[in-house]
Amino acid sequence: MTFLSLTACSSNAINNNNKVNNTEQNMEERVTVLLTTTAGDVKIELYNETPGHRDRFVDNVKAGAYDGVLFHRVINNFMIQTGDPTSKEAKPGAMYGSSDRGSEIPAEFVYPQLFHKKGAIAAARTGDNVNPEKKSSGSQFYIVTGKVYNQQELVAMEKTLQNRQRQVVFDSLVQQHRQEVMDLRRARNSAGLQELQERLIKETEETVKGNLFHFTQEQKDAYTTVGGTPHLDGSYTVYGQVVEGMDVVDKIQAVPTDRNDRPKEDVKIIKATIVE
């Protein structure tokens, strides 16, 4: 891989059918929610392995928080997103997605058991620059559609994610040696900078040894058959799945959208209901 050079000006780093099979994660009975939408019904299950997200979703449903909200962001072969409370009073052409109900939820990564295969329910969130802990939105969520990958694409993505791991470790080491880097730069000591860089690269490789990212066989099987969005794994909390109505999700993802990815004709959740 290529690390950012210490001699640079900055050290900053860089199946699908109408039903989706259940994962065998937790044998306890799961909460099931029916989303009645203007495009049809979608039934989802919430994972017990992510109790904070499950309980907040149930609270939102009981409070009617999802009744009337738009699918305000729809990207074909990627995902459909909803849950912005202000979209209940949607104005034509307006952009939504910046509002929330309640406080953020601490991330609950159950990875690699829970991942972004097609039909996964995951929490939207603000970006890493303002949200380094990757806390989830209090109400906004998305349903994964994604695409089917071949083995070669997954191998390439795996290498990209491994390099990202290395870069994060390297950048952290650079910050720990920040004063030394600055002193060497001021002294125009290129040889010293090169030596330090090689030492930090070696330390990086020792740190990540045995811990580099690899897709599990379950992930590979899913991403090469039903599909999904593997590049989101480990960065957004997955906390549920579609169990019925994936054809409705596919219908929604294919609608025409404007430049802000909002459907040109509103698609909304009419009502969300706990299935007893």
Interval 4-37: pLDDT, tens: 444 443 333 323 334 444 444 445 799 999 999 9
Question: Angle 140-145-146 (CA atoms, 0-180°, nearest 5)?
Answer: 115
Residue 260 lies in a domain: yes
The pLDDT assigned to 18 comes to 42
Residues 166 and 243 in one domain: no
pLDDT tens sequence across 173-219: 999 999 999 999 999 999 999 999 999 999 999 999 999 989 999 99
Name the pairing type of β-strands 31-37 and 40-46: antiparallel
User: Same domain, yes or no, for 141 and 158?
Assistant: no
pLDDT at 27: 52
140 & 250 share domain: yes
Assign residue 133 the CATH number of its domain: 2.40.100.10
113 and 168 inside one domain: no
Domain co-membership, 241 together with 106: yes
User: Which residues, 6 or more positions from 101, have their beta carbon under 8 angstroms from its beta carbon?
Assistant: 60, 63, 65, 83, 85, 138, 139
Question: Would the CA dihedral through 70, 72, 76, 80 be positive or negative?
Answer: negative
Task: Flag whether 245 is in a domain.
Answer: yes
| Mean residue pLDDT across the chain | 91
Res 276: pLDDT: 78
* Measured distance CA(227)–CA(118) in Å, rounded: 6
Higher per-residue pLDDT: 22 or 248: 248
Q: Which residue, 152, 148, 122, is CA-closest to 232?
A: 122
% of the chain beyond a pLDDT of 70:
90
Domain hosting 202: range is 152-208
Provide the token pair at 34. Answer: 């029916």
Give the tens place of pLDDT for each residue, 68-103.
999 999 999 999 999 999 999 999 999 999 999 999
Quick one: 171 and 238 in the same domain? no
Give the separation between CA 136 and CA 197, rounded to whole angstroms.
36
- In sequence order, the 6+-apart residues with CB closer than 8 A to the CB of 204 are 3, 166, 169, 170, 173
pLDDT band at 2 (very low <50, low <70, confident <90, very high): very low
Contacts of 259 (CB under 8 A, 6+ apart): none
Residues 35 and 90 placed together within one structural domain of the fold:
yes
Is residue 251 assigned to a domain?
A: yes
Asked if the structure places residue 217 within a domain, the reply is no
